[in-house]
Structure 1
Amino acid sequence: MSFARTLLRVKPAEQLADDGSHSQLRRTLGLVPLVALSVGATLGTGIFVVLAEAAPAAGPAVVVSFVLAGVAALCSALSYAELAGSVPVSGSAYSYTYATLGELVAWICGWCLLLEYGVSVAAVAVGWGGYLNEFLQGTIGVTIPEIFAAPPGDGGVFNFPAALVVLLAMGVLLLGVRESARATTITTLLKIAVLVFFFAVAITAFRSENMTPFAPAGFAGISVGASAVFFSFIGFDAASTAGEEARNPARDLPRAIILSLAIVTAIYVLVAFAAVGAVGVGALGESDASLAAALRIVTGQGWPSVVLAFGAVVAIASVVLTVLYGQTRILVAMSRDGLMPGTLSKVNRRAVPARNTVVVGTVVALLAAVVPLNQLAEATSIGTLVAFGLVNIGVLVLRRTRPDLPRSFRTPLMPVVPLLGLALCVYLIFGLDAVTWVTFAIWSAIGLAVYFGYGRRRSRLNESDTEPAK
């Protein structure tokens, strides 16, 4: 097979499904744990952490920024749902693009997902440290010194709390998927309860003057805010990384993806509206623990912010857990295909890819400890938007090339929805800072070097005569 043809070769959906059916991972997850996995991976990253970054740019119209980002995510979610039902394996968008757009594009997508999941875990871990300090100050009157609770460039030397929460999540994952799913469900319910508590308190202090001027920077500000808060929707696709641990993946994966996005979007919009209306965008931008600070302003007392900070400490830890889980399962899929070292797909007696989990957890913990939050959040967004765009293209290609393939869910209004999802992803990408593009270019160059130096030669498709995409 010629060099060019090897880059375009696809791995048929049937072959992907067969690999998944012989997986050593255990099928233990039903619909509720899958929804909890996606909600747990999503809910909290934006409201608890990124709202403080986006509100000053968009003004009170940050509420619209959440809606715009949610619409962009919905179009991609519908495409994800169809592909998850058609190709119900671990690997998420990586596996879907392998079945539709060819090996090189699948590698690029998988490499972007590694950026998305790994960096988003680090970003959330950084935000966790801010709420941990808020909780410690409100309960025992102490805070972790900034030198040990912030990365270089943000006044610190090494962010120990951020590294700690990643290592704790790694430990839970090593216990097994059933135990991880139970922890995720409990912490997700707690997270929802805490945000409902925040809304109930903050809405009582709503002042209409805090909503004016509504969009001081116009639609440009709303767009910048949407590009930033799109980070907060990362994770709704987490259920698709559990394709080989779901009991009925063809039925439950599409449902879990759509249900989780609906739950998350509704909560984001309501909480952002209550927060801005209660204290204004200026106050939200003054603290990493913006919601806890807002409650202190609203009530004039410390205990409500302590309650919220405690909930955030537990809840944001669940985001770290679930997103770290997703990254390890994507690496399992890439390793099984030969594009990554084989040791990353080996599992232990608990059916856990232990070596993979330790490597990922260690790297992400170091990243969380030394890189500032704003750089992490935007780097995550660009990786996500590229992966989502490829999924929207993939669902169009698979409809054309494999119309006979069984589908448990079909994206409505074809081809409008995936084309709109693709267009919105492109639009949001161009709203990101130039430094984010530079970071992404460097990451992509490293990825291509790894693929051409290692993955292409070791791909399992070298062992077959699989035809490239037409």
Structure 2
Amino acid sequence: MLLTRQNLLRTKPVEQLADEGAHTALKRGMGLVPLVSLSVGATLGTGIFVVLGDAAPKAGPAVVLSFVLAGLAALFSALSYAELAGAVPVSGSAYSYSYATLGELVAWVCGWCLLLEYGVSVAAVAVGWGEYLNAFFESTLGLRIPEALAAPPGEGGLVNIPAAIVVLLAATVLLGGIRESAAVTTVATLLKVGVLVFFVAVAVTGFESGNLTPFSPAGFVGIAGGASAVFFSFIGFDAASTAGEEARNPQRDLPRAIVISLAIVTSVYVLVALTAVAAVGTDTLGASKASLAAVLEQVTGTGWPATILAFGAVVAIASVVLTVLYGQTRILVSMSRDGLIPRFFSRVNRRAVPQTNTLVVGGVVALLAALVPLGQLAEATSIGTLVAFSLVNVGVLVLRYKQPNLPRTFRTPFAPVTPLIGLVLCVGLVLGLDEITWATFAIWVLIGLIVYFAYGARRSKLNHQ
């Protein structure tokens, strides 16, 4: 097949996407509460339990504003996600939205970025899970997993076995079916919110205003740098959009779930960051990856609150692994159904679960978690996410122009201003990332383009329509 500009920019009709979603082989069984739990579960825990200690030294006490800025950037994109999720209720999330608005090549790049956002962030979170597992073992049993077996190369170890184990356990739960996965997610989400409320209640007893001065030692540059780092902690609010074919009423519930989950997550992040910094200062936060447990231990002078926090973090971060892994597999279902990746990724078993897809993704991510350092993973994930968010903001504008009368159960307020602000904020956060992150991302996109032109462009189902 001759690859022409027209072929590369061909779009997939919204009506066709909607029809595929309506006749999906996946099973519809999720209401609003499970969808909110899915997005909160995919988000809450990644930044607060893992990244806060890395971001606090960059911004100082103003790391609280870093969370606000990152949350604001996420909000504008969330509104765009909500509109498209209500108009195009399929499992492909930003990939499918880009296919309907910006064309196949852009959709492929977006999907390739989502592999970075979902697949790689699972590995990054799993690495942090091992830190809290060690903290829990140390406070209860006085034991630690040997460094060689609990950290990847480059961080003092040989292989991170706990990180690989939690990924494989999450994949096993997903193989049980959507109802079972949703139940586990809801329980774990309620538990993690409860643990973080407990943290705030204890940490506020050690509140010292002196720890908040100077509030912004590095000025706006430090706040922006911190926001770029902690934006990783907002990855996942869009997880509900990957459940478009397993929600009972996607047009109504998907937009609600996205907006509600982001409001919950941002509120919790700001409260936890403020009380943590005020209690111990940014130096203590930066000294340990299991930073919140260290805060409670210093504030109370005893180990039991830190033990509760560490246990909650173990459960919370495991639920993040579960929900983000779920999102990754569903995006691959959509890409496979379009012919851009091998067909086995969209095949489902008698439980309506993409079994082979889940096994492959689980195995690859487990290896990644075991062998790659957290910092590099988190940074690379942020840029992939921001590119996907940018495309969603552009997609809202394009679809408003091309199909103004398309039924929408949610309309982004003050468009086109709102999507444009979301786009500008995403671009600004991307520019705040390190050069090594840009280089890593450029290599990732180049690999993706090679895969697309060697495989996907010729096997696209649009070629046969």
TM-score normalised by the chain length of structure 2: 0.99
Q: Does 1:263 align with 2:253?
A: no
Measure, in 2, the Cα distance between the counterparts of 1:311 and 1:272.
Answer: 17
Structure 2 CA distance for aligned equivalents of residues 361 and 435 of structure 1: 27
1:414 and 1:104 map into 2 onto residues whose CA distance is 26
Taking the TM superposition and a 5 Å limit, the aligned residue runs for 1:207-222 are 207-222=208-223
Give me the whole-angstrom Cα distance separating, in 2, the residues matched to 1:402 and 1:13. Answer: 9
Runs of at least 5 residues in structure 1 that lack an aligned partner in the other structure: 465-470
Aligned to 1:53: 54
Which residue number in structure 2 is paired with residue 283 of structure 1? 284
User: Match of 2:275, as an amino acid?
Assistant: A
CA deviation profile, 1:133-177 (whole Å, cap 9, x unmatched):
000011111010111000001000000000010000000000001
2:133 aligns with 132
Query: Distance between the aligned counterparts of 2:395 and 2:43, measured in 1?
Result: 23
1:220-235 to 2 correspondences below 5 Å: 220-235=221-236
CA RMSD of aligned residues (A): 0.6
Residue number in structure 1 paired with 2:20: 19
* Aligned counterparts of 1:353 and 1:364: Cα–Cα separation in 2: 16
The answer for the alignment partner of 2:443 in structure 1 is: 442
Which residue is equivalent to 1:453? 454
Within a 5 Å distance, the mapping from 1:145-160 to structure 2 comes to 145-160=146-161
Matched to 1:313, the amino acid is: V
What letter corresponds to residue 163 of structure 1 in structure 2? A
2:114 corresponds to 1:113: yes
Tell me which residue corresponds to 2:252: 251
- Per-residue CA deviations over 1:360-399 (Å, capped at 9, x if unaligned) read 0010011011111111110000000000000000000000
Q: CA deviation at 1:2?
A: 6.1
How many angstroms apart in 2 are the aligned matches of 1:373 and 1:244? Answer: 32
Counterpart Cα distance in 2 of 1:2 and 1:43: 43
The answer to whether structure 1 residue 32 and structure 2 residue 33 are counterparts is: yes
Distance in 2 between residues matched to 1:218 and 1:126, nearest whole Å = 31
**Within 2, Cα distance between the matches of 1:247 and 1:177?**
12
In 1, Cα distance between equivalents of 2:281 and 2:66: 16
Tell me the secondary structure at the aligned position of residue 281 of structure 2. helix
Q: 1:240 corresponds to which residue? A: 241
Identity within the alignment, %: 75
Distance in 1, matches of 2:305 and 2:341, equals 47
Letter in 2 for 1:149: A
d(CA) in 2 for partners of 1:369, 1:116: 18
Q: Distance in 2 between matches of 1:99 and 1:335?
A: 16
Aligned to 1:90: 91
Q: CA deviation at 1:298?
A: 0.4
> SS of the counterpart of 1:285?
helix
For 1:357 and 1:270, locate their aligned partners in 2 and report how far apart those are by CA, in whole Å.
Answer: 35
The gaps in structure 2 that reach 5 residues or longer are: none
Aligned residue in 1 for 2:421: 420
Q: What SS does the aligned partner of 2:239 have?
A: helix
- State the partner residue of 1:467: none
- Residue-by-residue CA offset, 1:391-410 (whole Å, 9 max, x unaligned): 00000000000011100000
| 1:163 corresponds to | 164
Is 1:313 the counterpart of 2:307? The answer is no
What residue identity is the alignment partner of 2:91?
Answer: S
Distance 1:343 1:316 in 2: 29
Which segments of structure 1 move beyond 6 Å, counting only runs of 4 or more?
none
- Corresponding residue of 1:74: 75
Q: Displacement of 1:4 after TM fit? A: 1.0
Aligned equivalents of 1:2 and 1:156: distance in 2? Answer: 47
Alpha-carbon distance between aligned partners in 2 of 1:316 and 1:165, rounded to the nearest angstrom: 9
| Residues in 1 aligned to 2:22 and 2:458: alpha-carbon distance in whole angstroms | 25
Task: State the distance in 2 between where 1:53 and 1:205 align.
Answer: 22
2:217 is paired with a residue whose SS is: coil
Measured in 2, the distance between the counterparts of 1:362 and 1:438 equals: 26
CA distance in 1, matches of 2:139, 2:416: 53
Provide the C-alpha distance between the structure 1 equivalents of 2:380 and 2:64, rounded to a whole number of angstroms: 22
Match of 2:402 in 1: 401
Q: Secondary structure at the match of 1:151?
A: coil
What is the count of residue pairs matched by the alignment?
464
**Aligned-pair CA distance for 1:296:** 0.3
- What displacement does 1:119 show? 1.0
Distance 1:121 1:387 in 2: 17
Residue by residue over 1:67-126, the C-alpha shift from the partner in whole angstroms, topping out at 9 and shown as x without a partner, is: 000000000000000000000000100000000000000000000000111111011000
Give me the whole-angstrom Cα distance separating, in 2, the residues matched to 1:66 and 1:338. Answer: 39
2:339 corresponds to which residue? 338
AA aligned opposite 2:452: Y
- TM-superposed CA distance for 1:21, in Å, is 1.3
The aligned counterpart of 2:371 is 370
- CA–CA separation in structure 2 for the residues paired with 1:237 and 1:287: 29
**Aligned counterparts of 2:5 and 2:102: Cα–Cα separation in 1:** 14
SS of the residue corresponding to residue 335 of structure 1 reads: helix
Per-residue CA deviations over 1:187-206 (Å, capped at 9, x if unaligned) read: 00000000000000000110
Alignment correspondent of 1:141: 142
| Whole-angstrom distance in 2 between the partners of 1:427 and 1:378 | 15
SS at match of 2:302: coil
Equivalence for 2:433: 432
Distance 1:234 1:73 in 2: 9
For the residues of structure 2 that align with 1:414 and 1:191, how far apart are their CA atoms? 35
